[in-house]
Chains A and B, each alone.
Chain A
Amino acid sequence: MSGEAPDPAPMLEVNRVSKHFGDLVAVSDVSFRLGPGVTALLGPNGAGKSTMLRMLAGMAAPSEGTVRVLGGDPRADLELRRRVGLVPQQESLFEHLRVREFVRLAADLSGTADAAEATDRAIGTVGLDPADKRRLSTYSKGMRQRAKLASAIVTGPEVLFLDEPLTGLDPNQRNLMIDLFHRIGASGRCVLVSSHVLGEVQRLGTDVLVMGQGRLLAEGDFRAIRDLMDDRPSRFRIATDSPRALAAGLIADGLAVGVEIHEPGALTVATDGAVRFAATIAPLARERGVSLQELRPLDADLESVFRYLVEGR
């Protein structure tokens, strides 16, 4: 008997999925599996993110491939819809309803227990007032986003899809919503958040799916993705009292493929082996009698990863 725990079943499983609209290929041969936690679906406008989310929510059928959510077919399995929530990208709402009526409709149609209480709780969670008598037609963009989110979470879904959910929110509301996504993800649910805004995504966590031109370009922790980009040297800025001595040592040991000394007391190093570099730089400095004052990666952030993957630079 093996001592290893079996792989838990993925909450989302996308297998070689493509979606065509006539000649237009919106999603091409995408596969991934996701478990609990928050994952960001990142890509520029037109990358296929919304189409991917629509297929995951069952709103559109894949042209090829299969989508499984909690083990079921989201398009055919009606019961699955009780366990899945979606915040769609569009702003439109049932304009003639009040927020409590809008969220309650979702709860009632899903057969949510204690629908009235669940409705007020969901509305309160997103920072709106359940007793607000105004119709949704009078709501600002940020309030509409929060009303949609309340409608999506009122059933307590195990899987939550959010399509650009932070659009229109002010910074304070964004913080509240990001905290909420993390709380939901930390409770064992699967949260997939699409965005084209890198600053947002970086705050959502480190797990990303990167899409571009309908294809899945990368998945996983974006820092690990960066490390795997062997064809792209990683760059570090090092502040030191002896930049020339350190540069000579790095080149002699084969740790650097390029070195620039462009200011007194600092150098920029390009290396093919970021992991080895990080592990070796301190012993090397000690060996050469050089003092290290700062070591800072210049392109290990999400923006660099995104630029490499999507824009090819």
Chain B
Amino acid sequence: MSSAARIFGFMTRKLLRDWGRIAVLVVLAALAILIAAVMRASDDGVTPEEGAGFLVWYGLSIVLPFGSLLVAADALGDLRDERTLVYLWLRPLRAASAAAGAGGGALTVVVVLLAVPLIVAGEILEVPMAGGALLAAVAYVGVFLAFGMLLSRPLLVGLLLLLVWENVIGSLSAATARLTIRSYAASLVVEEGWDVGTPVGRSLAASIAVPLAVGALGLLLAAWGWRRAEVP
């Protein structure tokens, strides 16, 4: 088994042992399914545009980014804060393997606990959520994994990024929306002409390539941080 696979297994298990965090994620995800079911069951029915509006707002603007922050920023950041990073860092691990293993573990937790329930909610509302949810998870996990490795207060900085950058700046105009992960993920969910309250309209190629590139950049930064770390 490769080093990255061992770190992946270790990290997945570690992240799943934090019952408080898991409970928060499960509640967030369950609410998506519950609200989708209630919308679907209402007497007035729900249009795909209304369903997409809810899933872009709740799923792609709240559940996935904030859930990914809770998971990915702590993947390596917790090890550093708890001063247990030493037990991995002292082993002959390539930085890329360590980052890939940790990122893979965090991504698995985010996909299973958050993205999959959002996809289920999308099925209920007849909105194709799979592509947007999975790619958003890749991008956010990459970014917050790097935050955890590089910053001393990754949760605080991550919160600021989500609130100020993704939500405020991303909502100002179509031009500034290009700078947010959310707009690329949402473009895969929303059909042309729908109004979901957030600027969309990215091309299919850009909607796939940009989140993947952001996720990969996050992994590279996390690996760089690992290599340069002054281990406590």
Known contacts: A92-B82, A96-B14, A151-B87. The answer to whether A59 contacts B230 by CB under 8 A is yes
Among residues of B, the one whose C-beta sits closest to the C-beta of A102 is B87
Interface residues of A in 42-82 (CB under 8 A from B): 54, 57-61, 78-82
B89 within 8 A of A: yes
B171 touches A (CB below 8 Å): no
- How distant is the Cα of A108 from the Cα of B6 in the complex, in angstroms? 8
Residue of B nearest to A83 (CB): B92
**Interface membership of A84, Cβ < 8 A:** yes
Can you name the residue of chain A whose Cβ is closest to the Cβ of B229? A59
Residue B83, interface by CB 8 Å? yes
B92 touches A109 (CB 8 A): yes
Please measure, in the bound complex, the distance between the C-alpha atom of A22 and the C-alpha atom of B152, giving whole angstroms. 17
Chain A residues with CB below 8 A from B92, complex form: 78-82, 109-111
Name the residue of chain A whose CB is nearest to the CB of B85: A59
The secondary structure that dominates the B interface is: loop
Asked if B175 CB lies within 8 Å of chain A CBs, one says no
B86 at the interface (CB under 8 A from A): yes
Chain A residue numbers with a CB within 8 Å of B3 are 109
Q: Which of chain A's residues has its CB closest to B230's CB?
A: A60
Contact A59 B86 (CB under 8 A): yes
A 87-146 contacts with B by CB, 8 A: 88, 90, 92-94, 96, 102, 105-106, 108-111
**Contact A105–B94 (Cβ < 8 Å):** no
Check if B112 is an interface residue, CB within 8 A of chain A. Answer: no
- The 8 A CB mask of B72-113 against A (1 = contact, 0 = none) is 000000000011101111111110000000000000000000
In angstroms, Cα B14 to Cα A265, docked, is 70
Known: A92-B84, A108-B1. A57 touches B90 (CB 8 A): yes
Contact indicator A109/B230 (Cβ below 8 Å): no
Provide the bound-state CA to CA distance between A79 and B92, in Å. 6
Most central of A82, A90, A102, A109 by chain B CB within 10 Å = A109
* Interface presence of B231 (CB below 8 A): yes
Closest to B84 in A: A92
Mark A residues whose CB is within 8 Å of B.
54, 57-61, 78-82, 84, 86, 88, 90, 92-94, 96, 102, 105-106, 108-111, 151
Residues of B that sit less than 8 Å from A by CB: 1, 3, 6-7, 10, 13-14, 17, 82-84, 86-94, 230-232
| A–B complex contacts, Cβ < 8 Å, 12 sampled | A57-B90, A58-B90, A60-B230, A81-B90, A81-B92, A84-B90, A86-B86, A86-B90, A93-B84, A106-B87, A109-B88, A110-B92
